[in-house]
């Protein structure tokens, strides 16, 4: 990929779109990675936040024995063969009775590569709100409740933060509208937009094995990688080409993600914005030195791409990636 190709790839990722995953630049040591499969080695969860014009939140009352009678946001596990959006729509229909469409991803939460939750802001498009007369094994009922006075008892208090995240986004969008892109991937991995900035310049880390590309790191399932979360895979790749003890690395958040779900292809690629900086910056006009020949720093010269990158960095205009 020449410079023009790199610019096109970066523009695609900054625009919330996806790129095919051809191979990985960094993988965990040990056994070769097996393809990920729902219900076997990964669990994906979807959750939807709905807010209406009266500042009310759509809540559902749980029917499961362990949490029966408590209240939560519409949520549940993805099933094999579903896209992420299809799973969210199914859960909302089953638990609240409503048809819906996603507005944007609000956040992505992880407990390592084996458990990832996708939180959407969504809007209803039809259906009939579920009442207690239609109680079943999915939920007892659903209803709209004031954001400042959610029904109790709550199944878990994490919904309070997610509702506020949705309300803030409705008041002022903190990132572009971002939805999952339907592209195949066999593993849980991350495509890095790893940046180094000075007052006047922006560099992006590029992998050189094959055609130059935005580097991809595979997430492992070892106990260490599970404990450390998916950021371990980012640090592993950077450790392979940089001297990290003198550097500060920060994961800013998601620019987008891609997943297919059909034909037993359950992998996910997260497009992640990362910053690399010197711990003691002083006057640094060049990025940190690269070790080896598998990576280089690409200086972004195209003015529009520079502006986009700096805006996303300075405003943290990304989907939060939390643990």
| Cβ–Cβ under 8 Å, residues 19 and 12 | yes
Classified as helix, coil or strand, 303 is: helix
Q: Residue 93: name the closest of 115, 108, 76 by CA.
A: 76
Cβ(231)–Cβ(270) under 8 Å?
no
58 is in an annotated binding site: yes
Q: What does the alpha-carbon distance between residue 219 and residue 101 come to, in Å, rounded to a whole number?
A: 30
Strand partners, 202: 197
CA dihedral 288, 289, 291, 293 (to 10 degrees): 110
Grouping H, G, I as helix, E, B as strand and the rest as coil, residue 40 is coil
Token pair 């020949």 is found at: 293
Q: Exposure pattern of 119-130 as b/e (b: 16+ CB <10 Å)?
A: bbbbebeeeeeb
- Residue positions forming the annotated binding site: 58
- Residue positions forming the annotated binding site for Mg(2+): 58
């Amino acid at each position: 990929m020449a410079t023009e190709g790199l610019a096109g790839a970066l523009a695609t990722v900054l625009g919330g779109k996806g790129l095919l995953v051809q191979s990985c630049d960094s993988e965990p040591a040990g056994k070769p990675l097996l393809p990920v499969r729902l219900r076997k080695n990964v669990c994906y969860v979807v959750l939807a936040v709905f807010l209406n014009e009266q500042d009310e939140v759509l809540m559902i009352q749980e029917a499961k024995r362990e949490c029966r009678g408590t209240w939560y946001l519409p949520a549940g596990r993805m099933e094999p063969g579903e896209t992420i959006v299809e799973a969210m729509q199914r859960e909302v229909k089953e638990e609240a009775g409503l048809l819906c469409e996603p507005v944007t991803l609000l956040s992505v939460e992880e407990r390592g590569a084996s458990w990832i939750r996708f939180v959407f802001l969504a809007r209803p498009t039809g259906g009939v709100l579920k009442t207690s007369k239609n109680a079943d094994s999915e939920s007892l009922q659903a209803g709209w409740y004031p954001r400042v006075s959610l029904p109790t008892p709550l199944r878990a208090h994490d919904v309070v933060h997610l509702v506020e995240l949705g309300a803030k986004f409705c008041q002022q969008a903190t990132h572009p509208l971002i939805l999952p892109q339907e592209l195949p991937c066999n593993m849980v991995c991350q495509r890095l937009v790893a940046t180094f900035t000075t007052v006047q310049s922006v560099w992006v880390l590029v992998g050189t094995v094959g055609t130059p590309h935005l580097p991809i790191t595979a997430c492992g399932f070892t106990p260490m990688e599970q404990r450390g979360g998916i950021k371990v895979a980012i640090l592993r790749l950077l450790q392979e080409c940089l001297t990290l003890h003198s550097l500060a690395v920060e994961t800013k958040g998601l620019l987008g993600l891609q997943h297919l779900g059909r034909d037993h292809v359950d992998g996910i690629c997260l497009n992640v914005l990362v910053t690399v900086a010197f711990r003691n910056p002083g006057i640094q006009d060049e990025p940190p030195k690269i070790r080896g020949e598998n990576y280089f720093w690409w200086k972004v010269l195209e003015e529009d791409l520079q502006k986009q990158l700096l805006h996303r960095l300075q405003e943290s205009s990304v989907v939060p990636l939390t643990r």
